[in-house]
């Protein structure tokens, strides 16, 4: 065990000052840093078994976002489906920024209503049930079925689709 610890310390000491986000070691260091959060803003999810995984789930991004907001002159949060905007305002105003300094610009929906179709499916083309519960959402069969649904939709809908999952 001490041998592994020595190797890990040597690798940490030999890291370049700039690491790429694609680096596996960088991902491990980021994960360990999140573990030091002591449960205030996130949780660690452990999946046991042959393909075990450890994941960090950030529950409250406000503290981390505050570091960005406090260093900036202005922050622009842009997106297509940002409702409810109040959540973003709360993130911004948590950090000494007055509510009246937050400008919200909303635009009308740019897609004509006759070009919008909302569809709910319970099964895919291979009769796989679309059950996105926590236990199933990483299932290869389920993800492949979603891929088949999207492929089929793209083959019959002219000029492409926008899909929210």
The mean predicted confidence, pLDDT, of the chain is 76
Tell me: the pLDDT tens digits for 84-111? 777 767 766 665 556 666 777 777 777 7
pTM of the model: 0.41
Which pLDDT score, from 0 to 100, does residue 64 have? 72
Tell me: the pLDDT tens digits for 5-14? 565 556 555 5
Tell me: the pLDDT tens digits for 61-86? 777 777 777 777 777 777 766 777 77
CA distances from residue 21 to 65, 114, 146 in whole angstroms, order as listed: 19, 42, 28
pLDDT value at 122 more than 80: yes
CA distances from residue 73 to 68, 70, 93, 149 in whole angstroms, order as listed: 10, 8, 14, 44
């Amino acid at each position: 065990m001490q041998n592994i610890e020595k190797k890990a310390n040597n690798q940490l000491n030999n890291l370049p000052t700039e690491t790429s986000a694609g680096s596996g070691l960088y991902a491990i260091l980021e994960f360990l840093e999140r573990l030091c959060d002591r449960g205030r803003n996130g949780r660690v999810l452990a999946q046991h078994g042959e393909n075990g995984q450890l994941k960090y789930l950030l529950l409250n991004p406000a503290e981390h976002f505050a570091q960005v907001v406090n260093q900036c002159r202005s922050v622009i949060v842009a997106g297509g489906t940002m409702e409810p905007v109040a959540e973003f305002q709360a993130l911004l105003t948590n950090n000494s920024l007055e509510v009246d300094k937050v400008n919200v610009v909303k635009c009308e929906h740019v897609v004509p209503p006759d070009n919008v179709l909302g569809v709910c499916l319970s099964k895919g083309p291979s009769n796989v049930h679309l059950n996105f519960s926590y236990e199933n959402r990483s299932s290869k069969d389920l993800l492949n079925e979603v891929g088949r649904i999207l492929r089929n939709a793209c083959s019959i809908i002219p000029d492409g689709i926008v899909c929210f999952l």
